[in-house]
């Protein structure tokens, strides 16, 4: 047998005078590799004293079939080199740590089994996103991160400015003069790449963008992050139904892909994080999503006999408790809710003939609530201009967006899938802070 070289970090070592078992892990998968080091190795005692949990090692040896239980193969070491020591203060000693503690050591938690699994699944999920769209001929568009527009109109923008905060230039009316700022206008980190994706859909047909988005939304929940990743497909010559079909196919594709390619990692989530995970994923794959209009959803909520923390009334936004009731208790499966009241939705959504609702759609899933938000876009210039006026948006600022409706306008539609929320759904991890490498949330931007 030829010798192999394995680099990794020590998970545990147990041994006697005659030999040691060293469990090492290189991050490539959940399973450790067992190394057997015989006491007759050169420098054995000195090396073993330095092989502690967390140390980095380089092992040379023969890969042999294991006679022990728990592994098919093991390495019989001919040489063990300690590359980097870890003393007893290494925080990931073998014992159960709370999620909160692990968040505080976000620079070390990828070395914990559970987080190794989370971030391998995250990587695979990103790959599957591209595969899904590339296989279907969608063009990947890089939309800008710095923008002058507030796509969602919610005013949850992080300002981008290089002005001196202590002594900013002022206009003659005493206001800060952003005309003298870096971009000669007010600019922000983007909340969504949608408006720019629409530009490309109205040229290349089917496109998608996949990148970070930023929201200065002061909601401290387990499902909101201030910096999160979003996948936004946009399709020309497509209506709301085509949009709902794509969202459903996309969510199912991602689940199927992770089940196929990350089976070992899913095991650990099913065992330690969420016992119902495997059944739920199988259930979601097997069934069509329920589709109900917002008006029907309100009727279901009113007929539920529940007392809600936020009362249910036609015209109000669905709150998390309502969304979860629909998906978890009433329909017991993912639900696509469509045709929301125009007053609670952004300016770009297409007005329905009832003049009261717009072609919005949200996909709600059990355990999380909203995972997808999208719509058919208003392609009629006059209606869009009226919407913008109602939302207090200036036609001058959005002249480029209106041009899409002036020249060769087409029905088009798209949505945004929250990448971290999808990751929570496939792993069962309960907090968004634990599926992103370094979470940014109100009051917290360490690392």
Q: Which residues lie near ligand 4AD (CB under 6 A)?
A: 151-152, 192, 194, 215, 217, 224-225, 228, 230, 232, 370-375, 414-416, 418, 420-421, 432
- The Cα 131–Cα 217 span in angstroms is 31
Question: Which residues contact residue 269 at a Cβ distance below 8 angstroms, ignoring those fewer than 6 apart?
Answer: 117, 277, 427, 428, 429
Q: Count Cβ atoms below 10 Å from residue 133 Cβ, excluding itself.
A: 22
Indicate the residue among 226 and 290 with the shorter CB distance to ligand 4AD. 226
Residue 366 interacting with Mg ion (CB under 5 A): no
Smallest distance, Å, CB 48 to ligand 4AD? 46
Indicate the residue among 74 and 362 with the shorter CB distance to ligand 4AD. 362
Smallest distance, Å, CB 187 to Mg ion? 23
Which residue is listed with tokens 């709902």? 244
Indicate the residue among 117 and 326 with the shorter CB distance to Mg ion. 326
Q: Within positions 227 to 256, which residues make up the interface with Mg ion, using CB under 5 A?
A: none
Return the one option of Mg ion, ligand 4AD, none that residue 181 interacts with (CB less than 5 to 8 A, by type): none
Smallest distance, Å, CB 270 to ligand 4AD? 23
Indicate the residue among 28 and 222 with the shorter CB distance to ligand 4AD. 222
Residue 373 interacting with Mg ion (CB under 5 A): yes
List C-alpha distances in Å: 66 to 57, 62, 72, 75, 333: 21, 11, 5, 9, 45
Indicate the residue among 10 and 240 with the shorter CB distance to ligand 4AD. 240
Indicate the residue among 246 and 432 with the shorter CB distance to ligand 4AD. 432
Q: Count Cβ atoms below 10 Å from residue 116 Cβ, excluding itself.
A: 20
Render 75-136 in DSSP notation, one character per residue. Answer: EEEEEEEEEE---TT-S--SSPPPHHHHHHTTTTGGGSHHHHHHHHHHHHHHHHHHHHHHHT
Give the length of the chain. Answer: 447
Smallest distance, Å, CB 177 to ligand 4AD? 30
Spatial contact of 314 and 298, defined as CB atoms under 8 Å apart:
yes
Indicate the residue among 193 and 373 with the shorter CB distance to Mg ion. 373
Return the one option of ligand 4AD, Mg ion, none that residue 334 interacts with (CB less than 5 to 8 A, by type): none
Helix axes 399-406, 194-204, angle to 10 degrees: 30
Smallest distance, Å, CB 120 to ligand 4AD? 21
Kind and range of the H or E element at 227? strand 227-236
Q: With CB under 5 A as the contact rule, which of the stretches 54-62, 182-190, 373-381, 420-428 interacts with Mg ion? A: 373-381
Q: With CB under 5 A as the contact rule, which of the stretches 122-130, 370-378, 423-431, 432-440 interacts with Mg ion? A: 370-378
DSSP state of 289: P
Helix axes 240-261, 113-135, angle to 10 degrees: 140
Question: Where along the sequence are the contacts to Mg ion (CB under 5 A)?
Answer: 373
């Amino acid at each position: 047998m030829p010798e192999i070289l394995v680099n990794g970090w020590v998970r545990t070592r147990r041994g006697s005078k005659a030999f040691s078992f060293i469990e090492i892990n290189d991050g490539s998968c959940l399973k450790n590799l067992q190394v057997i080091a015989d006491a007759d190795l050169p420098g054995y005692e000195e090396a073993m004293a330095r092989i502690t949990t967390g140390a980095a090692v380089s092992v040379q040896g023969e890969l042999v079939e294991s006679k022990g239980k728990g592994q098919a193969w093991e390495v019989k070491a001919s040489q063990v080199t300690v590359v980097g020591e870890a003393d007893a203060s290494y925080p990931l000693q073998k014992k159960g740590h709370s999620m909160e503690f692990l968040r505080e050591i976000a620079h070390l938690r990828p070395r914990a089994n559970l987080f190794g699994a989370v971030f391998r699944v995250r990587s695979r999920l990103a790959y599957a996103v591209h595969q899904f769209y590339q296989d279907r001929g969608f063009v990947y568009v890089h939309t800008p991160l710095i923008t002058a527009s507030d796509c969602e109109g919610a005013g949850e923008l992080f300002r981008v400015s290089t002005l001196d905060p202590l002594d900013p230039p002022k206009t003659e009316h005493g206001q800060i003069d952003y005309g003298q700022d870096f971009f000669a206008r007010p600019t922000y980190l983007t909340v969504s790449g949608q408006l720019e994706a629409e530009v490309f859909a109205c040229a290349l047909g089917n496109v998608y963008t996949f990148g970070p988005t930023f929201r200065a939304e002061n909601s401290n929940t387990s499902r909101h992050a201030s910096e999160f990743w979003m996948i936004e497909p946009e399709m020309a010559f497509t209506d709301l139904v085509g949009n709902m079909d794509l969202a459903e196919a996309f969510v199912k594709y991602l689940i199927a892909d992770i089940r196929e390619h990350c089976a070992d990692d899913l095991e650990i989530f099913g065992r330690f994080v969420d016992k119902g995970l495997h059944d739920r994923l199988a259930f979601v794959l097997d069934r069509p999503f329920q589709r109900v209009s917002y008006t029907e959803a309100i009727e279901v909520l009113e007929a539920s006999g529940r007392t809600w923390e936020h009362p249910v009334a036609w015209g109000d936004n669905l709150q998390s408790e309502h969304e979860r009731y629909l998906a978890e208790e009433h329909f017991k499966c993912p639900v696509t809710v469509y045709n929301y009241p125009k007053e609670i939705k952004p300016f770009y959504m297409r007005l329905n003939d009832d003049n009261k609702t717009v072609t919005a759609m949200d996909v709600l899933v059990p355990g999380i609530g909203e995972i997808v938000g999208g719509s058919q876009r208003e392609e009629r210039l006059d209606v869009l201009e009226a919407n913008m006026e109602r939302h207090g948006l200036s036609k001058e600022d959005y002249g480029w967006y209106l041009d899409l409706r002036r020249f060769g306008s087409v029905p088009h539609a798209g949505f945004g899938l929250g990448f971290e929320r999808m990751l929570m759904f496939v792993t069962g991890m309960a907090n968004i802070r634990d599926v992103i490498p370094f979470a940014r949330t109100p009051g917290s931007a360490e690392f």
